[in-house]
A and B are shown apart, each in its own frame.
Chain A
């Protein structure tokens, strides 16, 4: 049995941040080294980790009642001021560009990237994602079984999308649906990361632009990830946090 030292109480918030996945590599290594030699902090680390997983899996996530949602959206539409779409886009681009210049080059790159002509595609992906979150829109074929989901697409698409099972890695396959993006029918797979659905869109790649490295785009506040693999264009969109989605993508890419 070891007793907490001054160093332990100094490190406790970092032990917690490690459990929360908030540390960079250097800090995480420092905490790992301390835990290896300190029973007290190792124990605290384990308890925090257990608590985290218990809270994530055993507490209620309250869903808005369907009626409430319907009425709310109706009243929002009623209150919404009419906008001239093209004019307001132009204005918001300039406002965005100015704040980006103030905010630094990185933001500027993201903003410029989101305003290339490719926005039509990303618009459609965002729209499909948003639509899918409405009750009963997420899934046409609800199944965690790849052998059910894969054949379901046969005859509906002119290609066979890769459907992978990642349940062991914490990303449950929920099913699939047919969607329409970039003027063609595409496969949409739905996975779940805890409370957050992950929408994955798949269609055959057309050009020579084939790269498994993931490109990230932010569009209308949604983060999207795009890569090409096995001659398929793959897009992922979700409001799960960035590290979780990156882990999902990594595991999906390397799964058989």
Chain B
């Protein structure tokens, strides 16, 4: 049986939508992006011969989302600033449990994640919500694996730092 594109689309739609929604932080914009990405994917599908349909689709979703973001920047979110990370790295002697208490608050972690710069947010979503490997994330985001690792590191330091600040 030749894999039917509609089956693939249906299977990976939740992942596609979740990624788009996190990248653009807007529900209706996310729908537009997924719609556009799926139609593109359908067009490219005859030349797709990989084994990892999910990674392939997410890559297309991601590219469409980035193109859209460049046209309109959502200004409603207070961004965490990556340049703040460096000076704080030595300060890791806190109680490891401290973050957990704050994270239990409804919506708190969503808000923090939404504050990350897009390339860090994207790595976190692909890693923790889609549970993809470093290799897959590197393929989807078109950067070397080392970059994925350092982005995840920066993202996590920022999140921990913000949680400490808000405690």
Contact = CB atoms under 8 A, between A and B. Distances in A.
Given A40-B92, A221-B53, A221-B54, A55 B2 contact: no
A55 B92 contact: no
A221 B34 contact: no
A250 interface: no
A50 B94 CA distance: 13
Main DSSP-derived SS at the A contact region: helix
A167 B34 CA distance: 34
Interface string B115-132: 000000000100111111
A85 B4 CA distance: 10
Contacts of A61: 14, 18, 129
A56 B128 CA distance: 6
Contacts, number: 165
Contact of A47 (B94, B104, B109, B152): B94
A119 B1 CA distance: 8
Interface residues of B, number: 65
Contacts of A65: 31
Given A16-B153, A221-B51, A241 B132 contact: yes
Interface in A58-111: 58-65, 68-69, 72-73, 75-77, 79-81, 83, 85, 88-89, 92, 95-96, 99, 110
B93 interface: yes
A194 B152 CA distance: 20
A41 to B, nearest CB: 9
Contacts of A63: 14, 17-18
